[in-house]
Amino acid sequence: MFLQQARWRKPYRIPYSLRRRIRYTPRRVFSIRWWRKSYLDNPLQPAKGRGEDTYVQVSWEQALKLIHEQHDRIRKANGPSAIFAGSYGWRSSGVLHKAQTLLQRYMNLAGGYSGHSGDYSTGAAQVIMPHVVGSVEVYEQQTSWPLILENSQVVVLWGMNPLNTLKIAWSSTDEQGLEYFHQLKKSGKPVIAIDPIRSETIEFFDDNATWIAPNMGTDVALMLGIAHTLMTQGKHDKVFLEKYTTGYPQFEEYLTGKSDNTPKSAVWAAEITGVPEAQIVKLAELMAANRTMLMAGWGIQRQQYGEQKHWMLVTLAAMLGQIGTPGGGFGFSYHYSNGGNPTRVGGVLPEMSAAIAGHASEAADDGGMTAIPVARIVDALENPGGQISA
Q: How far apart are CA 299 and CA 295, in angstroms?
A: 12
What H or E segment, with its residue span, contains residue 148? helix 145-151
Q: Which of 12, 34, 60, 90 is catalytic?
A: 90
Q: How far apart are CA 271 and CA 256, in angstroms?
A: 17
Q: Distances from the Cα of 212 to the Cαs of 199, 282, 305, 365, in angstroms?
A: 12, 12, 22, 53
Q: Which of 16, 35, 39, 88 is catalytic?
A: 88
Concerning whether 145 is annotated as a catalytic residue, the answer is: no
Concerning whether 60 is annotated as a catalytic residue, the answer is: no
The answer to whether the beta carbons of residues 229 and 191 sit under 8 Å apart is: no
DSSP annotation string for 236-290:
S-HHHHHHH-SSHHHHHHHHHTTTTS----HHHHHHHH---HHHHHHHHHHHHHS
The answer to whether the beta carbons of residues 365 and 81 sit under 8 Å apart is: no
Q: How far apart are CA 299 and CA 273, in angstroms?
A: 17
Q: Distances from the Cα of 150 to the Cαs of 143, 147, 184, 188, 189, in angstroms?
A: 12, 5, 10, 12, 10
**Residues belonging to the active site:** 88, 90
